[in-house]
Amino acid sequence: MTYPKILTIQDISCVGQCSLTVALPIISACGIETCVLPSAVLSTHTAGFSGYTFRDLTDDMPAIKDHWVKENIKFDAVYTGYLGSTKQIEYVADIFKANGTENCVKIVDPAMADNGKLYPGFDTEFVAAMKKLCGEADYIIPNITEAAFLTDIEYKAEYDRKYIDDILAGLSELGCRNIILSGVSYREGKTGIVVYENGLYSYYEHDKLPNSCHGTGDIYASAFTGALVRGKTAFEAAKIAADYTVECIKATAEEENHWYGAKFEPVLIKLINALNQ
């Protein structure tokens, strides 16, 4: 793929540096034609803002897919982020089949939970639907909370390697061969990424920063997707995305008024440079 075309499906928060407002510029900066399918439009994201507007675009998704089929529009990769309902998950599965090229790379970020809890509005039915979508993916990018829900394993904030191995085994049973498990910490002050490819385990560790930012999961998943589609191996892409996300958090650390997201734009050059090494 000399000039790949990727589709990313997730909501767009007009203000807030998350979802599509992150995915579109980051993947585009990786030198990839980036097409979008917004699942919803919000005036801002929902963390810390009040009175935000919300427009559900679920009913538009089948017609968009059908138009692409009519125009014979195909995508070399499809990357999904936050999906708001089981119906949207069903529509994404249809798009995988109808609009992917023969070798389409399907990447699913099962954005539905964190810190041991599902996001508001999600339930066991949604988790069951997400399990099926992950089974159809080539790569999934869960955090530990999401992985616990996907595998029906009790969430633990403190754990050992055996716990992570059990999580990986459970995720593999869903049908996905390649797992990128984020936020894995085996020692104080450190965190990292587990890359599990066809039963082979590898781990990239980096410093755990004291501050956190909304939207860094979207930044990570988008950078990983861009690097992977650019031809990097899964481990290389995981490392590049982790290093870039850390730089985004560092760039935001001194900005008290920038509480709603991470300043990913000023350090995009570091992602581009890493891709060209």
CA distance 200 to 107: 19
For 183, the 3-state DSSP assignment is coil
Task: Read off φ and ψ for residue 85, nearest 5 degrees.
Answer: -160, 165
Percent of the chain at pLDDT > 70 equals 100
> Across residues 209-213, what is the average pLDDT?
85
pLDDT for residue 267: 97
pLDDT digits (tens, 9 = 90+) for 38-88: 999 999 998 889 999 999 999 999 999 999 999 999 999 999 999 999 999
- CB 202, CB 195: distance < 8 Å: yes
**Model confidence at 213, in pLDDT bands (50, 70, 90)?**
confident
- CB 205, CB 252: distance < 8 Å: no
CA distance 68 to 99: 7
| Ramachandran quadrant class, 189 (left: phi over 0; alpha: psi -120 to 50; beta: rest) | left
pLDDT for residue 212: 81
Give the H or E element holding residue 101. strand 100-108
CA distance 79 to 197: 18
pLDDT for residue 271: 98
**Which tokens in the block code for residue 40?**
């919803």
Asked if the model's pLDDT at residue 165 lies above 90, the reply is yes
Asked if the model's pLDDT at residue 1 lies above 60, the reply is no
Bridge-partner residues for 10, per DSSP? Answer: 38
CA distance 62 to 92: 9
Average pLDDT, the chain: 95
Superfamily of the domain at 5-275: Ribokinase (3.40.1190.20)
Alpha carbons within 13 angstroms on the beta-carbon side of residue 42 total 22
pLDDT digits (tens, 9 = 90+) for 215-255: 999 999 999 999 999 999 999 999 999 999 999 999 999 88
Asked if the model's pLDDT at residue 20 lies above 90, the reply is yes
- CB 191, CB 231: distance < 8 Å: no
pLDDT for residue 197: 95
Asked if the model's pLDDT at residue 2 lies above 90, the reply is no
Percent of the chain at pLDDT > 90 equals 91
CA distance 191 to 188: 8
Greater confidence (193 vs 208) lies with: 193
> Across residues 154-161, what is the average pLDDT?
96
pLDDT for residue 121: 87
CA distance 271 to 10: 22
Question: Considering only CA atoms, which of 33, 8, 3, 31 is closest in space to residue 21?
Answer: 8
**Which tokens in the block code for residue 193?**
């990424």
